[in-house]
A = this chain, B = another copy of it.
Amino acid sequence: MFEVERIIRTALVEDVGAGDLTTEATVAAGTQGQARLVAKEDFVLAGIDVARQVFAMVDASVTFSSRHRDGDAVQRGAVLAEMAGAAASLLQGERVALNLLQRMCGIATLTARFVAAVSGTSAQIVDTRKTTPGLRVLEKYAVRMGGGRNHRYALYDGVLIKENHIVAAGGITAAVQRARKRLSHIHKIEIETQNLREVEEAVTAGADIVLLDNMADVQLREAVTLVAGRALTEASGGVGLESVRAIAETGVDLISVGALTHSYRAVDISMLFE
């Protein structure tokens, strides 16, 4: 609820701090200005209200209007928003607004490409916890705007039993049982598996979701057949745009893609003054 406010405040403190030397020295107090945010390439929009909030936090009297909504596919040249107000305020909010908006659109756009690549299959693209420290709430939101779905948000809201937990618990069956016994009834249990034997053990032990770690497509297909709907199946590990379609066609329910939030490219957006 106050998380986006924290992000913007931190970013403004970081960039403006004790003052904008250049603007204070060159722009007379009271000077008004107008500016537009313009797309310099095609992309999926995410973060337009974050940009709005940046300017509102710099100066509540700046106006910000937009005809676009997050999730829209925008074209090169599109005017994303129009702002008017004190020139100093526009100049001080510019970089923070762009730094956030360009990254969020980059994530949404990359996600949309992955989603398109698996179109027609039953697989869903989900994100990971490989997000930029401090910006997770915005990055997971951008994934949704690109058509992807979120995996667990953090260590505190979802369960994923990995290899080290399994070793510590004394095996897959022990780990699932222990988790079932200690966790709240509201949590599904997901567990990582390396081969078909582990998949079978996990499902038998009662796992709700089976993570198929770094398996070849043929193995994924066998795992899906083996599970046979007794649990959800999730493919994971080094998934790229070139490989995702084949993975989706194995019949897995979910494909988690770390690249969505750790290897996106910021899209090109300019703020033009009039």
Interface residues in chain A, defined as those with a beta carbon under 8 Å from any beta carbon in chain B: 1-3, 7-28, 31, 33, 58, 87, 91-92, 95-96, 98-100, 102-103, 124, 126, 129-137, 149-169, 175, 178-179, 182-188, 190, 209, 232, 253-254, 262-263, 265-266, 273
Contacts and interface: CB of A to CB of B under 8 A. Distances in A.
A211 to B, nearest CB: 11
B33 A17 contact: no
A209 B15 CA distance: 21
Contacts of A136: 14-15, 18
A16 B265 contact: no
Given A133-B100, A134-B10, A25 B159 contact: yes
Given A2-B13, A135-B134, A186-B188, A26 B169 contact: yes
Given A21-B183, A186-B151, A262-B266, A156 B26 contact: no
A8 to B, nearest CB: 8
A154 B15 contact: yes
Contacts of A26: 161, 165-166, 168-169, 175, 178-179
A160 B94 CA distance: 14
B164 A91 contact: yes
A41 B231 CA distance: 35
15 contacts: A1-B16, A8-B133, A17-B157, A23-B165, A25-B159, A25-B178, A25-B179, A25-B183, A26-B178, A27-B168, A103-B262, A151-B184, A151-B185, A156-B157, A186-B209
A18 B130 CA distance: 17
A103 B139 CA distance: 15
A164 B31 CA distance: 11
Contacts of A163: 273
Contact of A133 (B10, B28, B179, B254): B10
B133 A7 contact: yes
Among the interface residues A22, A98, A151, A157, which one has the most CB atoms of the partner chain B within 10 A? A22
A22 B163 CA distance: 12
Contact of A158 (B21, B100, B103): B21
